[in-house]
Chains A and B, each alone.
Chain A
């Protein structure tokens, strides 16, 4: 049973466009929802994260939208750039601050064409 479902699997966006990646989760005990960015040959790096007490969090061109009732959250990349081309993973965990394992989605490969 996959606890975090991510879509689409791949995404092609023109430079300057908006990239949108969606995730849905099942466990209502999850209380921490990070997005990780991974470039080829590198480990994932935290991009932005949200907790369920807010519905949106913005950092620069990156925004997380969170819908607690629907158990869904999404990543929006505004003004997408070729340098954003990477694989993006959503994740979820429970017990924020206690240190727990992340449950990851299967990833979305984003290609931004110049």
Chain B
């Protein structure tokens, strides 16, 4: 694909429901990141996957948040029992730090706007 894609682009849910957000990284990128962007705030790191290594989950705000990456490609961010404060834009990025170019450029998707009513 041409870039990082995310789905859905918008998600409205009720408080207490579970949601799943999907990210398709750039083909061949070994690293995948999830960030959260709240209104008026910068991007907040959530979780990072690199190849087959154990993910860095240090940014997850609570145990209601989890993510997995299947087959080293597609990733799903799951938020259980959503709360109103979870409302934000969830951004996914990928990079190829282990590739020949050894660049740290992170390429971002357009994000999923989550609204919890």
Flag if B43 contacts A89 (CB, 8 Å): yes
What B residues does A91 contact at CB under 8 A?
43
Docked pose: A43 CA to B31 CA in angstroms: 17
What A residues does B45 contact at CB under 8 A?
101-103
Q: Which size bracket describes the interface of A in this complex?
A: 20 to 34
Flag if A105 contacts B42 (CB, 8 Å): yes
Docked pose: A6 CA to B43 CA in angstroms: 12
User: Which A residues are closer than 8 A to B by beta carbons?
Assistant: 4, 6, 32, 34, 36, 41-46, 49, 89, 91, 93, 96-107
Closest 8 CB pairs of A and B: A99-B97, A43-B108, A104-B42, A99-B31, A101-B45, A106-B42, A104-B43, A97-B102
User: Which B residues are closer than 8 A to A by beta carbons?
Assistant: 4, 30-31, 33, 35, 40-45, 48, 50, 56, 59, 91, 93, 95, 97-98, 102-111
